[in-house]
Amino acid sequence: MGALNQTRVTEFVFLGLTDNWVLEILFFIPFTVTYVLTLLGNILIVVTIVFSPRLHTPMYFFLSNLSFIDICHSSVTVPKMLEGLLLERKTISFDNCIAQLFFLHLFACAEIFLLTIMAYDRYVAICIPLHYPSVMNMRVCVQLVFALWVGGTVHSLVQTFLTIRLPYCGPNIIDSYFCDVPPVIKLACTDTYLTGILIVSNSGTISLTCFLALVTSYTVILFSLRKQSAEGRRKALSTCSSHFMVVALFFGPCIFIYTRPDTSFSIDKVVSVFYTVVTPLLNPLIYTLRNEEVKNAMKQLRQRQICS
């Protein structure tokens, strides 16, 4: 409580993506287009799955949740980044910074858990298909989604508590375009070595454990495909390859940023842009372009709209 009382900083200043205002203007247009496409693409997936009875299965239930999380995840950071690209002085209040940090970790952790659940769903569907209806019934799916939100909330609360308990009484310049734990705790007016270790342990353990579980799951699936028919192998590989592409695109940046000590690299901002701006757009593209069921459902939905 004493640390909280010593807090004097009321706002933080972002350095942004670059100090070149010409580049910032040039970045504004493609990033705005990317964000709009992210919202439209993920909303389209959610609407398609909700209004297409044929897609009311566990896999697509999880996919609709993934699209919802991607909408939220990108909306935590991208609007503020776009605003900053048009402003010379990029500021955020202390309270809003902590809120952004909290929701960033909430949605990121929720997505990590959801991708792990989706890998387990594919494992059950491919390796023990006869037990799939009983193992992955809708009640279990809802419970798993509820559990991932609880887990994400607990993780985010831990990260937020470790951040706000530190005193911030001096520098207030964040070398980034959004508030995250590593750049924020660097501004604390105290030794943050232990706090940094706890933060890396928390985030790193979740990222690495889930990633290893995912790799193990997909490895088992690949070995089990030897017993499948040619058509079964083709369909399973198509589905799993889409999932694994999303996993690699999301976990790569997370592991790079959150599983190393309190050090900064020049490439950090590029990696951050990739997983906060680009990856939420790639998810709907990967799942729709490589999934005939989703594309057919979208066509049927469009035809129903035209006929009505």
* pLDDT above 70: residue 46: yes
Burial classification of residue 88, based on how many CB atoms lie within 10 Å of its CB (0-12 exposed, 13-18 middle, 19 or more buried): exposed
pTM of the model: 0.89
Structure tokens given for 134: 């009983």
Q: What is residue 289's predicted lDDT score, i.e. its pLDDT?
A: 67
Tell me which amino acid residue 16 is: G
| Confidence label for 3 from pLDDT (cuts 50, 70 and 90) | very low
> Are the CB atoms for 125 and 132 separated by under 8 Å?
yes
φ, ψ at 92 (rounded to 5°): -150, 140
Query: Which of 31, 10, 39 has the alpha carbon at shortest distance from 86?
Result: 31
Structure tokens given for 296: 């057919």
Between residues 276 and 308, the one the model is more confident about = 276
- What is the residue whose two structure tokens read 């604390």? 188
What percent of the chain is modeled with pLDDT above 70? Answer: 92
Euclidean distance between CA atoms 163 and 182, whole angstroms: 9
- Mean of pLDDT values over 96-120: 94
What percent of the chain is modeled with pLDDT above 90? Answer: 44
**Angle made by CA atoms 156, 158, 159, in degrees to the nearest 5:** 65
Euclidean distance between CA atoms 186 and 172, whole angstroms: 10
Structure tokens given for 183: 């750049």
Residue 300's contacts (CB-CB under 8 Å, 6 or more residues apart) are 52
Whole-number average pLDDT of the chain: 86
- Mean of pLDDT values over 280-299: 80
CATH code of domain 11-295:
1.20.1070.10
> Are the CB atoms for 76 and 111 separated by under 8 Å?
no
Q: What is residue 271's predicted lDDT score, i.e. its pLDDT?
A: 87
Q: Which of 31-45, 67-81, 178-192 bottoms out in mean pLDDT, i.e. has the lowest?
A: 178-192
* pLDDT above 80: residue 233: no
| Confidence label for 152 from pLDDT (cuts 50, 70 and 90) | very high
Residue 105's contacts (CB-CB under 8 Å, 6 or more residues apart) are 152, 155, 156, 159, 160, 181, 203
Secondary structure class of 261 (helix, strand, coil): coil
**For residue 222, what are the CA distances in angstroms to 36, 67, 217, 238?**
36, 26, 9, 12
- Mean of pLDDT values over 158-173: 91
Q: Which of 85-94, 108-117, 221-230 bottoms out in mean pLDDT, i.e. has the lowest?
A: 221-230
Q: What is residue 232's predicted lDDT score, i.e. its pLDDT?
A: 67
